[in-house]
Structure 1
Amino acid sequence: MCTTKEKILLTSLKLFAQDGYEAVSISKISGELGMAKSALYKHYKNKRDIFDSIINRMDELDYERAREYNMPEGNMDEIIKGYRKISIDKIRIYTEVQFKHWTEEEFPSLFRRMLTLEQYRNQEMSDLYQKYLVSGPIDYMTHLFAGIIEKKEEAKQLAIEFYGPIFLMYSLYDNKREGDDLAEMLKKHVDRFSKKMDSY
């Protein structure tokens, strides 16, 4: 069951994703919820407190998902060792889960839309957009590939080749046309990439 705190977070995020963070006031959030501002302040000190709680929730979701699918954890050396033992089927499944997380799950997809909207207006939002959706994933995969393949100088290029199409598919999802089968497209992409990795 959704608590009042969770309802406030989700409603705020919906408004931030629709109108932009700066344009949304506490009055607008409380009005959308049908509650007095004083009642909202019992749960969150201000709009910034709501925003920080949204970030914390995103990090919790990330951690929970990795644990649920038994993805390697620990420092980078331990993660690399773990990925060496993982089958391509498990990587494909987790890639599909990640894609659904950013496109179909309500909270993360709204978060992605908010950052996409706000990245050109606010440096902090731009930094978060990079962390969650662009340079963060690429840096992580670069370290990962550098630990797996012998040609370490090619690791960043491999990271871009793997993640670039996935990143593009987020936009395709947002403007999906009839007949688009992004799940099949994603599966084929991971399969093709795994064959390429077999050559290393």
Structure 2
Amino acid sequence: MKQEDTTQRIWDKALELFSTQGYDSVSVGEIAKAVGIKAPSLYNHFPSKQAIFDAIVKSTAAQYEADTDKIHIHVQNVQRDIPVFTEITEDALFEKVRQIFEYSLHNDTISRFRRMMTIEQFRSPELAALYSKRYVERILHYHAGIFRALIATGEIAAEDPDALAMMYVAPVITLIGVCDRQPEREPECLEMLQSHVRLFFRMVHGGGSQRSV
């Protein structure tokens, strides 16, 4: 097995274990066993369990950015995405939200990372802060920036962009959490997601159904 393949397998298996058992409950030996190598060999690739975790954080962030780029949503870059949301239709907006929603649930790496962070946020102040930053603050800041730009051009109602971001994002985060806990409810959650996006769209446009957001 090539070194780069082994490195990939190490953090794949580590993430799988962390997402079900929690970071503190998994030993380097257990990770090595899951990969099919001896613990001393694992240290040829990573100096510590923390280094494996850090690599997972970095890699999943890069993967999310690359994958969402395909649907032209870049949560890291408000200015880049303003044109994406300019003159978008209600149907097109829901389609983008649906794609991100389903990607978040069904991409193994992204889903496992979120589950791992859900566990670890209650065990580590540092990881609690990372969870809040990655899954709440970053997303709210991004959408507030989008709404602020659209308000400035008169495309949507002149309301508090931070409050709009909270109203828009919170139901999506809630529905992802429901599906994480009860996967069988995904069809129901998708219907609720569609209702939410359409209602929000019409609200910020004063009741119109096919204007831009």
TM over 0.5: yes
Residue 174 of structure 1 is matched in structure 2 by 180
Partners in 2 of 1:81 and 1:70 — Cα distance? 10
Shift of residue 45 of structure 1? 2.2
Partners in 2 of 1:128 and 1:74 — Cα distance? 15
- What TM-score comes out, normalization by structure 2 length? 0.82
Shift of residue 72 of structure 1? 6.1
Residue 125 of structure 1 is matched in structure 2 by 127
* Structure 2 counterparts to residues 102-113 of structure 1, below 5 A: 102-113=104-115
- Is this contact kept in 1: 2:75–2:139, CA < 8 A? no
Partners in 2 of 1:75 and 1:110 — Cα distance? 24
Partners in 2 of 1:73 and 1:128 — Cα distance? 16
Question: Which structure has more RCO (C-alpha within 8 Å, separation ≥ 6)?
Answer: 2
Change (3 A) 1:120 1:157: same
Change (3 A) 1:109 1:146: same
- What TM-score comes out, normalization by structure 1 length? 0.87
1:135 to 115, 134, 137: 137
Q: Secondary structure at the match of 1:120?
A: coil
Structure 1: gaps of 5 or more residues: none
Q: Secondary structure at the match of 2:17?
A: helix
* Structure 2 counterparts to residues 85-104 of structure 1, below 5 A: 85-104=87-106
- Is this contact kept in 1: 2:144–2:162, CA < 8 A? yes
Change (3 A) 1:26 1:152: farther
Q: Secondary structure at the match of 2:160?
A: helix
Shift of residue 85 of structure 1? 4.2
Change (3 A) 1:35 1:74: closer
Residue 186 of structure 1 is matched in structure 2 by 193
Q: What is the aligned residue count?
A: 199
- Is this contact kept in 2: 1:72–1:83, CA < 8 A? no
Shift of residue 167 of structure 1? 1.0
* Structure 2 counterparts to residues 35-184 of structure 1, below 5 A: 35-71=37-73, 76-150=78-152, 154-176=160-182, 180-184=187-191
- Is this contact kept in 2: 1:20–1:117, CA < 8 A? yes
Which deviations, in whole Å up to 9, do the C-alpha atoms of 1:158-183 show, x marking residues without a partner? 11111111111122112337565222
Partners in 2 of 1:74 and 1:13 — Cα distance? 23
Partners in 2 of 1:144 and 1:112 — Cα distance? 24
CA RMSD in angstroms comes to 2.5
Residue 23 of structure 2 is matched in structure 1 by 21
Partners in 2 of 1:10 and 1:75 — Cα distance? 28
> What amino acid is aligned across from residue 68 of structure 1 in structure 2?
K
Shift of residue 73 of structure 1? 8.5
